A and B are shown apart, each in its own frame.
Chain A
Amino acid sequence: MSDMKVVEDLTQSEYKWGFVTNIEAESAPKGLNEDIVRFISMKKEEPEWMLEWRLKAFREWKKLPEPDWAKVKFNKIDYHDVVYYSAPKVKPTLESMDEVDPELRETFEKLGIPLDEQKLLAGVAVDAVFDSVSVTTTFKETLKEKGIIFCSISEAIKEYPDLVKKYIGSVVPPKDNYFSALNSAVFSDGSFVYIPKGVRCPMELSTYFRINAQETGQFERTLIVADDDSYVSYLEGCTAPMRDENQLHAAVVELVTHDNAEIKYSTVQNWYPGDKDGQGGIFNFVTKRGMCEGVNSKISWTQVETGSAVTWKYPSCILKGDNSIGEFYSIAVTNNYQQADTGTKMVHLGKNTRSTIISKGISAGRSDNSYRGLVKIGKNATNARNFSQCDSMLMGDRCGAHTFPYIEVQNQTGQVEHEATTSKVGEDQIFYLNQRGIETEDAVNMIVNGFCKEVFNELPMEFAVEAQKLLAVSLEGSVG
């Protein structure tokens, strides 16, 4: 079969974005103890309360067991063999793009983020996190006029301590799970967004993360708060350079929406997945959770997951306010030896709360792709409504696709629908397209794009294009 050639070419294609930038990093020594936590806090020039908070989290972390329930297998991580802090040596404070280190700028350009152009063309404010420390923040002035705060979390800790104190850990408490405790103790940087009452953020806020220095764990902490009647769309995307050592990535993202507010959070995740033999790759253990605190509020998660060797990620919504809405749209693609265990939790607590889950899993090569989700209708969540659809597509006979939904209903007025299917790309569909002169490779691409369309539609324009490209690179032609 000629398709086999295509399959081999594409499934064996190496990670395209593999390159390393040499910037002398000022790193903490390997290992984790209270002194390291203090070191990080000191480096970040944090106030006393933040250090206390970190230390408390660290003590909780020591007590917690490492979770083993996810359907992923990897060598045990030695948490004392990880560097928990590294920063580019010079931390520039910048007014204009010219002040940015040229080498850094080059890296951004390779990543497809021409900062200077982006400012003009895309109308997107970029808070670029380069290996744990914010290097530059654009569009700050424009946002400031509206009263929107968009800065690195370390800056926010210093500038807006009251806001940070009020919200940090309110959605994901440090002791929530093993990785959130770890993150709370050692988080290096991340973004902070606050949208004041009645403000509709005029542009998409976006942060590009990039892991750089070797053997550095990346521990971002993102906190987004949308006050009454506000709206914000936030984009997060990342690629990472090629490595042999496994890199640990344990982020925490917290979202809070007050009355009538809405947050739309989109992610394209393309961490280095390891080579075709399963060597290397990022371990991605993320805790993302949104709290619909107010009435009529809405949180929408959209994610395209193509990277990482191991993914462990469940963006969730707690629908506390009456009439609040939670949404989760996801595409997870695994190839070679990748393992993904991802899904969502929708916890309905308020009345008339609604949630939608659309999850598309595509597995190829020898990968394992699991959807794991929880829909919970609490006792007081009258007239709650959920619709879930989890479709899996298998490409190749050595991969696995799994669905583990948990549904817990404690209110008779709740209405829950869950549906899941597993299938492969139909031979008849390919045949049909072949007949019309479309090459197999393109045909598969079309079918996969059709399969994922519902999720692509939810992505903001810029991201949708990038996501489709990523998907094509990740598995185009994996079907024979």
Chain B
Amino acid sequence: MTNSSKNIDVRNWYLSGFKDFESKLNGESESYLHLIRKLAFEKLGNTEFPTMKNEEWKYTNVNPVLETNYIPAFISEKTVITADDVNERIYTGFDCYKMVFINGEYSEELSDMENLPEGVTAGSIRKLLKEQPEIVEKYIGKNLYKENAFNLLNSAYATDGIFVHAAKGVVVEKPIQVVYINGSKDQNLLITPRNIFAADENAEFSVITNHSGIEGKSYFTNIVTEGFLQKDAKIKVYKLQNEADNAYHIERAEVDLKETSIFSHYNITFGGSLVRNDINTELNGEYCESNLYGLYFGSTDQHIDNHSLVKHMSPNCESNELYKGILDDSSRGVFNGKIYVRKDAQKTNAYQSNKTILLSDDARIDTKPQLEIYADDVKCSHGATIGHLDDTAYFYIISRGVPAELAKSMLIRAFVDDVVGKINIEPLREQINHQIFEHLHRVEI
């Protein structure tokens, strides 16, 4: 069977399932979101899933994702999750608001969104579409363009997701932690969260998205996130991806920045068998700042693909990007970062760096840092390095009596520290450090 016929098969599966899905929406088929769904459904009929012939997917073969016919979680049998399940997974040690999504559906009883400051609308998109549809309609789908088949699949089956909006001047002190618990013991699920983060003038908030899975059947998380930052707004997103080992995880994020706003994204990948992130920012006002930081840890035969596109559309903006990874066993990493500087975006400062360490002979990295620059008065640079743990540093440490394994762990810790160190929630930082060694099966320091 050729790849392309598989591609059509799975597309037919999702297309034919749509009627059934639509019939179970009840009143929700009248909503604005359903217009988006129907449009995406139509487009999906004419859009093929990407193959490795597509430059953007050159190093990532998505066939494993297309081999299984996943059932949209909305029409599947519900998985029962208890407060204990949530507590096992949640990052602790700091005060936060809590949102819990089970297979992409918001769970009111497990969440804790009490005492939000005035001017903040945060919660389930599905619920808000019923209660205050105008606020969701203002944003949803507004920041998407050139959707690929996966994005369309999300739009076609999207029912719920995170919505956070902070009105002018509102600063949310506590971070909002979103715990996703995905997967099922007996069904292969398609989970399609649809998220919106919007901060008005001078507003500020941070969100921790904590993606976790339960052991069971393979599932497919397919996320679309849109971000909107008005003048002087600040949004931080910490993405901690701990999906199950047999899960597939794809996210596309599009963030629009207006003048002097700052967007920071911390993208940390532990879980998932095939992972693909597209984190894109568009700098549409002067003096804004985009910070994209990432860490990826591959073990067994994980495949982790991080794509980003930073579009400098206005003058005087700054962008930073630092992605670091450690690949062990037969895992594979892909990095593709692109800085685009438009003709009028003079005085741009753009930095991009990708560093990878390979710990095993079977690990592999393909990296493609790109610059596309049409303005002359700019400072843009990118760098990429690939190597193994520094032999001389290693020798220095062991010669002082440090056990070999511990010495390696020290070097790993030092390597990741310039990304981990950027996370300013200390307990979170500690838990991430712990996870790194656990995931790589190494001695912890």
Q: Which positions in A face B, CB cutoff 8 Å?
A: 69, 377, 379, 392, 394-424
Contact = CB atoms under 8 A, between A and B. Distances in A.
9 contacts: A397-B346, A397-B377, A403-B369, A406-B368, A407-B368, A409-B366, A422-B373, A422-B378, A422-B379
Shortest beta-carbon contacts, A-B, top 10:
A394-B376, A412-B358, A403-B371, A416-B386, A418-B384, A421-B381, A422-B380, A415-B387, A407-B367, A424-B376
Interface residues of B, number: 35
A420 B388 contact: no
Contacts of A412: 358-361, 363, 388
Given A407-B368, A414-B387, A416-B386, A398 B373 contact: no
Given A414-B386, A416-B386, A406 B366 contact: yes
Contacts of B368: 404-407
B434 to A, nearest CB: 25
B370 interface: yes
B384 A407 contact: yes
Contact of A411 (B346, B361, B372): B361
A409 B365 contact: yes
Interface string B340-368: 00010010000000001011110111111
Given A402-B371, A417-B385, 15 more contacts: A392-B371, A392-B373, A394-B378, A400-B372, A400-B374, A404-B370, A405-B368, A407-B366, A407-B368, A408-B59, A412-B358, A412-B388, A422-B373, A423-B379, A424-B378
Contacts of B380: 421-423
B371 A422 contact: yes
A407 B372 contact: no
B366 A416 contact: no
A230 to B, nearest CB: 34
A409 B386 contact: yes
Chain B interface, >50% SS class: strand
Contact of A415 (B346, B365, B386): B386
Contacts of A69: 55
B95 to A, nearest CB: 42
B34 interface: no
A245 to B, nearest CB: 29
Contacts of B372: 400, 402
B433 to A, nearest CB: 23
A392 to B, nearest CB: 7
A424 B366 CA distance: 30
A419 B353 CA distance: 9
A405 to B, nearest CB: 6
Tell me which of B359, B360, B372, B379 has the highest count of chain A C-beta atoms within 10 A of its own C-beta. Answer: B372
Contacts of B384: 405, 407, 416-418
A186 to B, nearest CB: 29
Contacts of B382: 403, 418-420
Contacts of A406: 366-368
A337 to B, nearest CB: 15
B365 to A, nearest CB: 5
A149 B167 CA distance: 79
B387 A408 contact: no
A418 B369 contact: yes
A69 B56 CA distance: 12
A397 B386 contact: no
B383 interface: yes
B129 interface: no
